[in-house]
Structure 1
Amino acid sequence: MNKKLFIKTFGCAMNMRDSEHIITELQIKENYSITENAKEADLIIINTCSVREKPERKLFSEIGIYSNIKKQNAKIGICGCTASALGEKIIKKAPSVDFVLGARNVSKISKVISIPKAVEVATNYDESNYEFCISKDSSFRALINISIGCDKKCSYCIVPHTRGKEISIPLDMILKEAEFRAKNGAKEIILLGQNVNNYGARFSNHHRKVNFTNLLQEVSKIDGIQRIKFVSPHPLHMDDEFIEEFAYNKKISKYIHMPLQSGSNNVLKDMKRGYSKEWFLNRVEKIKKLVPNVGIGSDIIVAFPTESEDDFKDTLDVVKEVGFDTLYSFIYSPRENTSAFNLEEIPRDVALSRLETLQNLHREILKSKAKKEINNTHRVMIENVIDSIEGRSDNGRLIKIEGSKEVSLGEIYDVVITKNENGSLFGKIA
């Protein structure tokens, strides 16, 4: 009998990819089909994120919601980073949960669904050589993991505690999946890892020496792949070889995400980021010199416990100098099992004021940039044709396309920018 699976995913692209693995494993091995209606599901999975604010409160709220609406005998499973962090505490606090599966144990999904109250959350479990079932869907985009875990010790970050030490996935496994996905219609490949450009630092089995630049070169040889993206690179590992490959490889999208976190050297040191403001700006300068129209995105945490007003001004200065095209900005949120957890937090009103100042500055930067885009032509890959026609340029700009010309998902068109509305770009196919 066909069973139905409902899955809700929180968090980053890594979590999205984990959910894809879970879905495909259960479809192929356990005869599940996906449903968008939790009330009719035989299995409800919540794939959690521990980076979001108040993750425990959010998780138990979600459990309560689904426990009340699930049909009789339906199971509830908790996966992801919060599952890794809390483990069996989840089942003790929420008896309606049938199993807990950590972010480092995704390959065990077929096993745990049949074991009452199973808890599999070991962060030293190595699934880097596990060949997940691969979906035969014809999506134009494919997410592909190239590493698992993280070796960094950023003082604010819970990820190393929930995903374990960094291990690279063997090159031949990555290329095999990329080739399969390309043959099934994928035109855009997104390579995933906590620190993608540290690829090759450690394999669990004997492996020839290879780095991220080598991987990019190999993936770009695959027929059918038109655009390669990756998230997220670490500024510390942006050596010249990597930057030059990014600049000169025509298949690599000319948008790069560079998580700054703070523009203050004092705060960067307290965050244990491993680089200085000067190093970050030097890398930006080199990238812009080689790719003048590059798109650059970043993450910034405001009100880290040791951040002074001068430190915050340093961050604003870097934002002005770089002119980020996208910016994900957050107020510092303490996490247990991080070295910054016991530091005294900055008052909430001060934190909110700094966040508002930063976001207002970025909005003005985007408006200024958008005005300069009128009449420019971009190569745009279509990403949505349902509510409206829109896509992303090679340098990462989201562009809404006006007009009635028929377009196809995943195809690339020349689009001329015709107007902007408060920083949003509109264009027409040339």
Structure 2
Amino acid sequence: MKSVAFHNLGCKVNGYEMDYMLQALQEKGYTIVPFDGRADIYIINTCTVTNIADRKSRQMLHRAKRLNPESVVVAVGCYVQAGGEEALKDMSIDLAIGNNKKKDLIPILEEFLTNRENRKDKTLKGRTMTDIGKTDEYEAMELQRTAEHTRAFIKIQDGCNQFCSYCIIPYVRGRIRSRGQEEILHEVRRLSANGYREVVLTGIHLSSYGITGGNDFSTSKLSGLVLRLQQEEGIERIRLGSLEPRIITEEFVRTLSECGKLCPHFHLSLQSGCDRVLERMNRKYSTKEYYEKVCFLRKYFDDPAITTDVIVGFPGETMEDFEETKGFLEKVGFYEMHIFKYSKRQGTPAAIMDGQIKEADKALRSNELLGLEKELSARYRQAHLHKQTEILFEEEKKINGRIYQVGHTKEYIRAAYETQENLSGQIVKGVLTKMLMSDILLFQPQIH
């Protein structure tokens, strides 16, 4: 059987889909080999969220073809979906598979290989692309195992209706569509039976789960799904992926607070702390509304971890706008912030906006917020010292020459316990005693 190497780029949804494709290849009998070596087939699950992501996708495709010029290089996903015919001019790409066709990787690949062999034509090209903007079909996939050993990411939703002015994703992922609840429960039970203790619900726009159209988040079925997962005996933790701030109402948060398995860790994408910039981004909420959502979470959960994304240097962002954003981030007091320099993405409204910011200015603003992020993150971790908590252990790690078992609290604080006993997959109660490293706290198990 032919050998296959794979490489994944991009988001957690891409990661889930890559795990599914890998699982399908293994079940079919293909030999999986490391990407850096020689393979018969290379599969690159591409990303196109920024121009930088496009460049990384191209680099990996070219690298694969250099590793074995006689190989079949398969470009899957967002980069080829966005690039269309232009992307397919790349001579490194032999076969392109668009979004919503990843589940059909095996039959598409094998038909291509058969045609190529029959024609004895090594330059044969293939592509299976759909008009993603017109599909309302949810691409059915189900995993038995994932790349992680104790935590499983589960894709429950695809597509986005938001059309933020900087984002290409609605054009390459299509409109919102959701997975059936019974299918999700079936996958959760299989993963639980295989030893997974925590599930992370993820999607392109997770808050749109169960919505049939539009942006009325009061019709989302996400909280109902969490309530149903709460009843599953084998799963100990439920974690949510990135949330749309507008889904956070007092009723929504009150419902979630009744689920003891839900991790008090909420990623609310912000992007800017300045109302003028938010409007240009087409984000559809104000900083006042966003802060109200944060207050709801802190009302019903004890010191929850609140994390976010921030874009600096968006077109038209003045220094006054930037300072306003910085002040708002300090006011909220996030646990972690992912700071991104605005990257122009062709095909989006923001790419042709006036007031494009120089790269040097973006870098200065980014560095300033990265410094703030470290400060706020350290403050949150220190506030959890000497508190009772529990760790889901995930891996063994050597720190300063000593062996530790490392895992995360429900708030996603990373912690370590010095022992050579394999605790992977176990949930242990105890106390965080001190800072071991800048991003790892020392854990002491509770003695009965």
Q: TM-score, normalised by structure 1?
A: 0.91
- Take 1:322 and 1:210, find their aligned partners in 2: how far apart are those partners? 26
> How far apart are residue 186 of structure 1 and its match?
1.7
CA contact (8 A) 1:99 1:112 kept: no
Q: What pairs with 1:93-112 in structure 2 (closer than 5 Å)?
A: 93-94=90-91, 96-112=92-108
Matching residue of 1:206:
none
Matched, 1:170 2:174: no
> How far apart are residue 250 of structure 1 and its match?
0.6
Matched, 1:260 2:260: no
Q: What pairs with 1:176-325 in structure 2 (closer than 5 Å)?
A: 176-202=186-212, 211-325=221-335
The number of aligned residues is: 420
- Take 1:127 and 1:31, find their aligned partners in 2: how far apart are those partners? 32
Unaligned runs of 5+ in 2: 113-123, 214-218, 399-403
Q: 2:74 aligns with which of 51, 73, 77?
A: 77
CA contact (8 A) 2:208 2:220 kept: no
Deviations 1:197-226 (A, max 9, x none): 2211118xxxxx871111111122112000
Deviations 1:107-166 (A, max 9, x none): 221232132522223214648455435335793222211111111110011111111111
- Take 2:197 and 2:385, find their aligned partners in 1: how far apart are those partners? 28
Structure 1 residues 144 and 371, CA gap change in structure 2 (3 angstroms): closer
> How far apart are residue 287 of structure 1 and its match?
0.6
Q: 1:60 aligns with which of 48, 58, 61?
A: 58
Identity %: 26
CA contact (8 A) 1:190 1:231 kept: yes
One-letter amino acid matched to 1:371: Q
> How far apart are residue 385 of structure 1 and its match?
1.9
Matched, 1:410 2:435: no
Matching residue of 1:349:
360
- Take 1:415 and 1:407, find their aligned partners in 2: how far apart are those partners? 17
CA contact (8 A) 2:9 2:57 kept: no
One-letter amino acid matched to 1:134: L
Matching residue of 1:158:
168
CA contact (8 A) 1:129 1:170 kept: no
- Take 1:262 and 1:124, find their aligned partners in 2: how far apart are those partners? 28
Structure 1 residues 399 and 186, CA gap change in structure 2 (3 angstroms): same
- Take 1:279 and 1:427, find their aligned partners in 2: how far apart are those partners? 37
Structure 1 residues 412 and 352, CA gap change in structure 2 (3 angstroms): same
CA contact (8 A) 1:262 1:301 kept: yes
CA contact (8 A) 1:381 1:391 kept: yes
Structure 1 residues 53 and 71, CA gap change in structure 2 (3 angstroms): closer
Deviations 1:56-114 (A, max 9, x none): 33222222221111274x211011211211133333122x3211112332122123213
Structure 1 residues 366 and 325, CA gap change in structure 2 (3 angstroms): same
- Take 1:320 and 1:365, find their aligned partners in 2: how far apart are those partners? 8
> How far apart are residue 38 of structure 1 and its match?
4.2
One-letter amino acid matched to 2:24: E
- Take 1:429 and 1:87, find their aligned partners in 2: how far apart are those partners? 54
Structure 1 residues 315 and 34, CA gap change in structure 2 (3 angstroms): same
Matching residue of 2:128:
120
> How far apart are residue 424 of structure 1 and its match?
3.7
> How far apart are residue 361 of structure 1 and its match?
1.4
Q: 2:411 aligns with which of 395, 401, 411?
A: 395
Structure 1 residues 373 and 140, CA gap change in structure 2 (3 angstroms): closer
Instruction: Find the residue that maps to 1:153 and give its secondary structure.
Output: coil
> How far apart are residue 53 of structure 1 and its match?
4.3
Matching residue of 1:375:
386
- Take 2:53 and 2:422, find their aligned partners in 1: how far apart are those partners? 40
CA contact (8 A) 2:47 2:54 kept: no
Instruction: Find the residue that maps to 2:6 and give its secondary structure.
Output: strand
> How far apart are residue 412 of structure 1 and its match?
0.9
> How far apart are residue 255 of structure 1 and its match?
0.5
- Take 1:339 and 1:357, find their aligned partners in 2: how far apart are those partners? 27
One-letter amino acid matched to 2:423: S
Matching residue of 2:115:
none
Relative to structure 2, which stretch is displaced further, 363-372 or 214-223? 363-372
Unaligned runs of 5+ in 1: 204-208
> How far apart are residue 405 of structure 1 and its match?
5.6
- Take 2:101 and 2:319, find their aligned partners in 1: how far apart are those partners? 42
CA contact (8 A) 1:128 1:169 kept: no
Relative to structure 2, which stretch is displaced further, 175-184 or 276-285? 175-184
Q: 1:361 aligns with which of 372, 397, 401?
A: 372
- Take 1:15 and 1:31, find their aligned partners in 2: how far apart are those partners? 23
Matching residue of 2:18:
19
Matched, 1:6 2:5: yes
Instruction: Find the residue that maps to 2:349 and give its secondary structure.
Output: coil
RMSD between aligned residues: 2.1
- Take 1:108 and 1:126, find their aligned partners in 2: how far apart are those partners? 16
Instruction: Find the residue that maps to 1:341 and give its secondary structure.
Output: helix
Hey, which bits of structure 1, 4+ residues long, moved more than 6 A? none
- Take 2:330 and 2:99, find their aligned partners in 1: how far apart are those partners? 37
Matching residue of 2:216:
none
